[in-house]
Amino acid sequence: MFDKTFIKNKKMKESSKRWLIRQMKDPYVALAKKNGYRSRAAFKLLEINDKFKILEKNRIVIDLGSTPGGWSQIASSKCKKVIAVDLLPMDMISNVDFIMGNFLDESTIEYIKHQLNATKSNVILSDMAPSTCGIKSVDHVRIMTLIEEVFEFSKDFLEEGGDMVVKVFQGGTENSLLNELKKYFKKINHFKPKSSRKESVEMYLVARGFTPQT
């Protein structure tokens, strides 16, 4: 999959070499290629779904931060419809309506509303993560802000009884945000898939049973 001679390139940065070596040794990278998945992240969603059963054939999914499309591939194979959003371009996937843009922008929101056609989604997925700087306190604030933005978005676009999955960092969710989420969802779980690298600080918050507040 990777040409090992690249690693001997003296002009290549050490960080890039480490990334290549990690990719070469990662069984999920090879397995993703074998199964035709666009990224190894597809296995994370498969594990989440195996445990929580969030993807069903009659459900509509919004995939935030979708590129390159690993999660959209899985969702589109199991659900009625997928609307995918990302700041970067994404190649077409069958049964997926994609828009390139910020999910908070009004133009993107209007596109999603048009695709939903006066309905709402049953599942909102977010494998997004902010750029990290290595300072835990700063990185924590950034991921919490992103989760809050996805949560606010979900309030407008989730059907009653719907589910939300968002990436978090180890240590889980702040108590204040967790308490707010509990007002809107019947069940909250933190879950780290086996396909998530052991050294990674990522895990996922799975919020089930959305209950709109009046």
The 10s digit of each residue's pLDDT in 93-119 is: 999 999 999 999 999 999 999 999 999
* CB atoms inside a 10 Å sphere around CB 109: 17
- Going along the chain from its start, the domains and CATH numbers come out as 1-36 (no CATH), 38-210 (3.40.50.150)
Say which residue, 136 or 179, is predicted with more confidence: 179
Nearest residue to 161 (alpha-carbon basis) of 114, 199, 212? 212
- Residues 175-193 have a mean pLDDT of 95
- Give the confidence band of 3 by pLDDT, cuts at 50, 70, 90: very low
Average pLDDT for the chain: 88
What's the pTM value of the predicted model, to 2 decimals?
0.86
Phi, psi of 111 (to 5 degrees): -65, -45
CA atoms within 13 A on the CB side of 97: 15
- Give the confidence band of 164 by pLDDT, cuts at 50, 70, 90: very high
- Residues 51-75 have a mean pLDDT of 98
Give me the active site residues, please. 167
The pLDDT value given to residue 26: 67
Contacts 24+ apart (CB under 8 A), 15-22: 22/197
The pLDDT value given to residue 6: 43
The pLDDT value given to residue 132: 78
Nearest residue to 112 (alpha-carbon basis) of 83, 139, 89? 83
- Residues 156-182 have a mean pLDDT of 91
Which tokens hold the place of 70?
């690993």
Cβ proximity of 121 and 83 under 8 Å: yes
- Residues 60-83 have a mean pLDDT of 98
The pLDDT value given to residue 173: 72
